[in-house]
Amino acid sequence: MAIKVVISGYGRMGHMIEQVLSRRGIECAMCSEDITATPKELARECVCIDFTTPDAFRANYKFLAENFKATVVGTTGWNDIQDEVIAYFNKCGATMIYASNFSIGVNILFKTAEYLSRLAAGVSDYKTAIEEIHHIHKLDAPSGTAISLGKIVDAAGGYQTPITSQRIGEVPGIHTLTLTGGCDKITLSHEAFSREGLAQGAVEAALMTERVSGVHEFKDLII
């Protein structure tokens, strides 16, 4: 079934998503810096892909839940209100797929880190640490991806993992997990070459909204 998409946030990610939609032959009905200006009759026909700012998403999530056919949320920095957001989408009977990172490679990183952390916790006294590096335009630190990775590692191995953040130039994103023991160190890392992987994953999530309902984290749907 064909879908139509409205892009919320028309910065670098918004432009990249628009390009991916065009290549996939998916209609982009509107690109907006103010999603609340979307005509409600259009919203009802469309999936919204949101890559805005933490403040914008906090201000707009109720409009998204109340009006759009479904919503894909790639914006990060709203972890503290996550329960509230999920509850509101469920109250509205609205579909939402969210992720701290829509890259397929990052979601493979999550699964690998979970397995590695569980193995290491059972056999040695490794100490875990996470470092993330992003471009200077990124507003939240640590990144949502690093927070998600930390939660996965801690839950799998009973660790308390510190996270360090750097903002350098135009780096799309590097996330590195290290497990350091008395005799060796294990390093697991993912480096994005561009934002295109995020855009491709977000478009895949938009297509998924045609066959799922309710609120889902992207990693639980793909791996």
Tell the residue number behind the tokens 């297509």, with chain if given: 207
Please, what sign has the CA dihedral across residues 59, 61, 67, 71? positive
What is the spatial distance between Cα 206 and Cα 102, in angstroms, rounded to a whole number?
Answer: 11
What is the spatial distance between Cα 99 and Cα 193, in angstroms, rounded to a whole number?
Answer: 19
Catalytic residue among 138, 190, 216, 219: 138
For residue 138, indicate whether it is catalytic: yes
On whether the CB atoms of residues 86 and 214 are closer than 8 A, the answer is no
What is the spatial distance between Cα 156 and Cα 84, in angstroms, rounded to a whole number?
Answer: 26
Neighbouring-strand partners of residue 165: 132
Catalytic residue among 69, 134, 190, 219: 134
In the numeric block, which tokens belong to residue 164? 């360090």
CB-based burial, 6-41: b 16+ in 10 Å, e otherwise: bbbbbebbbebbbebbeeeebebbbbbeebeebeee
What is the spatial distance between Cα 171 and Cα 191, in angstroms, rounded to a whole number?
Answer: 9
Which residues are catalytic, by number?
Answer: 134, 138
